[in-house]
Amino acid sequence: MSHPGNDEIIDNERDNRLELSKNMVFAVTEMGIEMVQEIAAETLKRKPGMQVKEFTKVLDQYLERQRELVNNATDK
């Protein structure tokens, strides 16, 4: 049988975890958008007027390079 004080503690902990999760998702999203903006700025310096489809390929290549770097680091 639950105790009212314990229920409140459990509810507060759950709410805190949910809030932390939301904050983390927002922070990661914000960081990802900032990275895309930096990549876009550098890419457009090199190739002004680039089409969105071409830029998407640039982002795909960037992600693939990052995966390779992570995989190589974990293999060592």
| Chain segment 12-71, per-residue pLDDT in tens | 899 999 999 999 999 999 999 999 999 999 999 999 999 999 999 999 999 999 999 989
In this prediction, residue 2 has a pLDDT band, given cuts at 50, 70 and 90, of low
- Write down the pLDDT at residue 51: 92
In sequence order, what are the residues at sequence separation of 6 or more whose Cβ sits closer than 8 angstroms to the Cβ of residue 59? Answer: 36, 39
Angle, alpha carbons 11-14-20 (nearest 5°): 140
Range of the domain at 35: 4-75
- Please tell me the total count of domains within the chain: 1
Does 1 have pLDDT greater than 80?
A: no
Rounded to two decimals, what is the model's pTM? Answer: 0.65
